[in-house]
Amino acid sequence: MKLIVKILLSALAVMILSYLLPGVHVSNYIAAIIVAVILGLLNIVVKPILVILTLPVTIITLGLFLLVINAFIILFADGLIDGFAVDGFWWALIFSLLLSFLQSLFTSGLDDEKS
């Protein structure tokens, strides 16, 4: 149940950012849910491989290269999903940063169930 709520909150964040950022386009709510699921899967499968392959560059840049990896994952998702479009690398980078911020903001209440 918690996973479904996180996916729906991520989809809500994707929709909000598509309205706020002129370089990010999502056709409808179903596409936003698909974007949330695909980004989650890419972060689980592809991102660790890219992090390991680019470890020297990541160390030299003190971790800032991870932002580039996140932007490329967004662009990869753009190529996979028909109802989702990002106008370029810089929009993908901004979208990635703001999506991470909104996801942490939205899901911060879900992790406080221990208290």
Report if pTM > 0.85: yes
What is the per-residue pLDDT across 36-52, written as a single tens digit (0 to 9) for each? 999 999 999 999 999 99
Residue with tokens 């990635």: 96
Angstrom distance (rounded) from CA 92 to CA 115: 36
Q: Would you say 58 and 51 are in contact if contact means Cβ atoms under 8 Å apart?
A: yes
Mean pLDDT computed over 54-72: 95
Q: Say yes or no to pLDDT of 112 above 80.
A: no
Domain ranges of the chain: 2-105
- The helix, strand and coil proportions of the chain, stated in percent and rounded to the nearest 5, come to 80, 5, 15
Q: How far apart are CA 67 and CA 58, in angstroms?
A: 10
Residue 111's pLDDT is 65
